[in-house]
Amino acid sequence: MSGLEEVLHELESRFEVKRVRTPLSVIYEIPAVIKYFDRGPTLVFTRVKEDVCGVVAANLVNTRSKVMYYLGVGSDEELYRKILDSESKVGKITEVSSHDYKEIEVNLEKLPVLKYYEGDAGRYVTSAVVIAKDPETGYHNLSVHRILVLGRDVATLRIVPRHLYTICEHYRQRGITKVPVAVCIGVHPLLLFAASCSPPFGFSEYHVASNFMNADVRVCDLGNGVLVPIDSEYVLLGYIDLETLVDEGPFTDILELYDKVRKQPLLKVEKIYVLRDVPYYHAILPGGAEHKLLMALEREARIWNFVRAVVPYVKAVRLTWAGGCWLHAVISIRKITDGDAKNAIMAAFAAHPSLKHVIVVDEDIDIDNPEEVEWAIATRFRADRGLVLVQYVRGSTLDPSAIDQEQGLTTKMGIDATYPRAERRKFEKARIPINVRELIEKLEVY
């Protein structure tokens, strides 16, 4: 593992990195530039208008090619297998006694925390890896949570009913209402990706990160019993106060809509450590490409795994950008029988319950090209034989059109946009049988 400075040097050797030297504000200005370059170059904002500790980095995990580069994989199938394998085998975690951290003043308002959108409740940390130790098993959970800064040493975080919530309940059952945590900002992209995954409760995301990197994850205890990765740019030590609930939200979610206000526990920060004098603060644009990919890629792997159990060959899966990389999926398969596409649709819904619409296409369709997908729907889909409706089923609570958004109750739709096997020639797209790229490269154009 390495700090973000080393990661940025590595990215510069292969991808575009833009360093913005114009002083910009953490209020709207830096977010506006990140949004403009969404799915584009990695950004480093070297000058911030406000008096803050650190510089801002963004777009570290905003393209599929960057994630595949970090993981050392070259195809969709290798990517999916790497994710699934990393969630099932023990990695290498080494606790060390020495570290390079320097303690600074506890003042969250001095960190370069951004306010992204006008309807957001305030300045939000969006790349925070919250680490907690389960009091029953000693297992360390790493998960990504949005954090709303409320003052110098107080904040609040959104906790959904998953693993961190379960750990908090384990403390509550023991009569303990202050849950010790570490909040790490500016971690290695693969550790952030691991923290975005959902292995079974009790299997630490540290193992996932180690498997992603094919290396030891070195950790240390900075004083509250929670192990933290030694290369985090910022480490905030403190506790979640389960007895004190405050308003959290509104905040922009993955669908670029404002999530509602909820009562969430207070986060009390007692110490702040930094890795270097000018640390790198990783900002993730809510609803942007980084946010979507971190949420999507593990779910794509799960869909691929479920679908290949019912269809012999699955070429690729995409949770689409316009669907927030969450509600819409396109799946490319090679059919053996004409019922395979419908089985693939049902398997996808089972693999990722938040899915709302699924489109299944033949392997000749480029699922990264929305025009080709639409062409397949236009020419190969017929509603009376290819439409699948599943009514009154649990979906995503993010979907504002749900029948009951609180429970996520909705209607789901699958589209079989594959051609009947017996009529392949009738549905075959006309193609020119030469290598067009090679031809274009030879052209002399005046």
Task: Report CA-CA distances (Å) from 61 to 11, 71, 262.
Answer: 11, 12, 29
**DSSP state at residue 237:** E
The answer to whether the Cα torsion of 389, 390, 392, 396 is positive or negative is negative
CA distance 112 to 125: 9
Answer for the pair 106, 272: CB distance below 8 angstroms, yes or no.
yes
CA distance 209 to 194: 5
CA distance 292 to 215: 26
Task: Report CA-CA distances (Å) from 179 to 165, 246, 252.
Answer: 11, 16, 27
CA distance 352 to 354: 6
In terms of Cα–Cα distance, which of 237, 218, 281, 227 is closest to 103? 237
In terms of Cα–Cα distance, which of 215, 230, 228 is closest to 91? 215
Helix (H) or strand (E) run with residue 317 in it: strand 313-319
Please identify every residue annotated as catalytic: 253
User: What are the structure tokens assigned to 414, written together?
Assistant: 């699958």
